[in-house]
Amino acid sequence: MKKLYAVVTGGTKGIGRAIVQSMVQEGFHVAVCARTESDLLDLVRECSHWEGSVLTYRADLSKTNEVKGFAKFVLDKCTTIDILVNNAGVFVSGSILEEPSDNLETMLQTNLVSAYTLTRALAPTMIQQANGHIFNMCSIASQIAYPNGGSYSISKFALLGFSKVLREELKDKGIRVTAILPGATWSDSWKGVDLPQSRLMQSQDIANLVLSSYKLSNSAVVEEIIIRPQLGDL
């Protein structure tokens, strides 16, 4: 049976972790990067009893040279690239006029440039295969500006724009592109918040959407997924 390979950035926490776990259970061999080595080792142990496997690489994707290092690792380890999930991201609150002046650069580098750089490095392999699926983890903040969203929202608007352009450029090459726009979802950034579990979405909800979108026939693509808590945004 042909091995299936996936690539997930920021794959040790929250949505990224749920995506990796779901893929490994489905038999994928998943190349994962994150900033903390111990988190990567925990993920490997957690997934060791499932059918697929986890290939790890420590990288800070706010640094372009480390994104390129991860891309080389992927190309060395993976014979194909069936799925790429650009999930890594960072959120720092603040309004445009009051936030630290380096907020924009920090979030553009992590939330946008890392996806741009990694996709440019891996897409040629997908084009050669004439097959593959790219998921970009955008946000409801890619569509709606909100107080103290500042540079985060700017970076996520840009990531959605990147997804739209990529879709147009790759649609005749057999590669599907999906932008996912989640609202509030339980992750480390929401730890300690005094809210009922049902008020936010589960990370597994997003992971389920990734796999179900991938499993559509090659003649169909979900271009954008907007998913929000049942009771609305926070």
Q: Residue 27 in contact with residue 106, Cβ under 8 Å?
A: no
The pLDDT of residue 189? 66
Token pair 């107080």 is found at 147
The pLDDT of residue 75? 98
Integer Cα distance of 85 and 115 in angstroms: 9
Domains of the chain: residue spans and CATH: 5-227 (3.40.50.720)
The pLDDT of residue 42? 97
Element (H, E) at 141: none
The three-class DSSP label of residue 148 is coil
Positive/negative CA dihedral, 142, 223, 85, 126: negative
Q: Which long-range contacts (CB under 8 A, 24 or more apart) does 151-154 make?
A: 151/92, 151/94, 151/96, 151/99, 151/103, 151/104, 151/106, 151/107, 151/108, 152/91, 152/92, 152/93, 152/107, 152/111, 154/96, 154/104, 154/107, 154/108
Element (H, E) at 112: none
* Full pLDDT tens readout for the chain, 234 residues: 789 999 999 999 999 999 999 999 999 999 999 999 999 999 999 999 999 999 999 999 999 999 999 999 999 999 999 999 999 999 999 999 999 989 999 999 999 999 999 999 999 999 999 999 999 999 999 999 988 999 999 999 999 999 999 999 999 999 999 999 999 998 766 767 878 888 899 999 999 999 999 999 999 999 999 999 999 988
Integer Cα distance of 95 and 231 in angstroms: 26
* pTM for the structure as a whole: 0.96
147-102-122-181 Cα dihedral, nearest 10 degrees? 0
Integer Cα distance of 23 and 27 in angstroms: 6
The identity of residue 231, as a single letter, is L
Catalytic residues: 152
